[in-house]
Structure 1
């Protein structure tokens, strides 16, 4: 299913119909069963508001937007195997690739935020209202270690820790080509380009972005690199390596190849493999690592042979 947006306006004859029935009748490409799944995920908006009930009645003149992101309509759920650490204040997760971190127009349910909220609610029975704080975000394709604060006592301290750059964030990525220097640093001002929504280095008006790297292993057409993020700007690693002429494998939006050495690449090869920081309440030094996901580990084996 391709990524699409459908916009409808309810006429007087359809007033009072169930929204799943109405949308399926208006859009030939979508069966009623598919529409129900999209509604459940949160991809149908009525009069500008996301709805969650298939039985919601529509009224004449109301606007309807149906957002499809082109991805499977299955709902991701967080399992115990994804959890690296949990206490009363923090939840550390090994995020799978291909999962939206936070809600989008196309889905609320099945995002990492929603899945984490449901997981916490299921494990905090009788402990009162759940408080979930997003102090870090990873791109949809990026896998690996990420942290949520799950208690009011932790939210502000974790936010300040990230803002003050007191968190050690390490990534592993496969980039195109061979870097001239085995170790180095990219430093620029990054700004979002309105036309493309991509991040780009600019001479003024952007936010400071600092990326350090170290070559781990070289292959015929690509290189495995360890990256230390000093700052945490959106798309920082992707933009910096692309501008250096070494885009991430699979990151087609930033010029990365979709094929390398005869192998097809389904996503950006970027993995957050280590996160180190001080516990916001106990002040214990913490360090978490996540192994490379199956697709990236498998590609490394193929490239090495």
Structure 2
């Protein structure tokens, strides 16, 4: 589970079924044998999703990583046209998250082989679901991602995805709203039963203390449904 660690941070391959906010810190403290260890969660994965996460081991590192995430989201907003550049906007994101997913169906008019998806999403906390809506209003946030279909057998497709924004259930909802739900995601329309086929596959950031570029990547699982 632990891929890298030092005094400032730890990079993990979170298993599906383990929550980011409670389960992961508890598991790390257990592995370290340090029940009071600081674990700063600076970004999240849905409980049913597996893959790469970086956690801070000091408050200072948590603040530095959070600042990278905020600055990178501002850079993405400029790159995809949601905002004009400000004086301190980074020329390119430094904290990037890339995913891979198995989608229902093959590329079509609603989902070409590659592109950028833009939606307004509303999170209904009472229902535990996120819904696409037609226009901005209170409680609605814009969601943007870019993707590329890398393989398809007509029934399922494999996609590489880069998040520009970090909304709840974003990837799951944006593809499901185009009638291409993720394999195993029954909440958003998949007819296949199993663990959601979504993996946090690549993570890049700057070390919060040294500024050194850090990059981590996972291989694609070699079991169904990933062998499209």
* TM > 0.5 fold call: yes
For residues 194 and 90 of structure 1, do their structure 2 counterparts lie closer, same or farther at Cα, with a shift above 3 Å needed? closer
TM-score normalised by the chain length of structure 1: 0.62
2:119 to 151, 163, 188: 188
- Return structure 1 stretches of 4+ with deviation > 4 angstroms: none
| Matching residue of 1:236 | 170
Secondary structure at the counterpart of residue 30 of structure 2: helix
**Counterparts of 2:188 and 2:153, CA distance in 1:** 21
TM-score normalised by the chain length of structure 2: 0.82
User: Counterparts of 1:10-89 in structure 2 under 5 Å?
Assistant: 82-89=1-8
Which structure would you say has the larger Rg? 1
Secondary structure at the counterpart of residue 156 of structure 1: helix
Secondary structure at the counterpart of residue 158 of structure 2: strand
| Cα distance, 1:196 vs structure 2 | 2.4
**Counterparts of 1:250 and 1:239, CA distance in 2:** 13
User: Is 1:132 the equivalent of 2:39?
Assistant: yes
**Counterparts of 1:249 and 1:285, CA distance in 2:** 33
User: Is 1:198 the equivalent of 2:129?
Assistant: yes
| Matching residue of 1:287 | 215
| Matching residue of 2:159 | 225
| Cα distance, 1:191 vs structure 2 | 1.5
**Counterparts of 1:178 and 1:241, CA distance in 2:** 12
- Which structure would you say has the larger RCO, counting Cα contacts within 8 Å and 6 or more residues apart? 2
**Counterparts of 1:234 and 1:112, CA distance in 2:** 18
Ranges in structure 1 where 5+ consecutive residues have no aligned partner: 1-81, 104-110, 259-264
Higher-helix-fraction structure: 1
| Matching residue of 1:114 | 26
Q: Is the 8 A contact 1:176 1:257 kept in 2?
A: no
CA RMSD, 1 decimal: 1.8
| Matching residue of 1:164 | 71
| Cα distance, 1:219 vs structure 2 | 1.3
| Matching residue of 2:223 | 298
2:183 to 230, 236, 249: 249
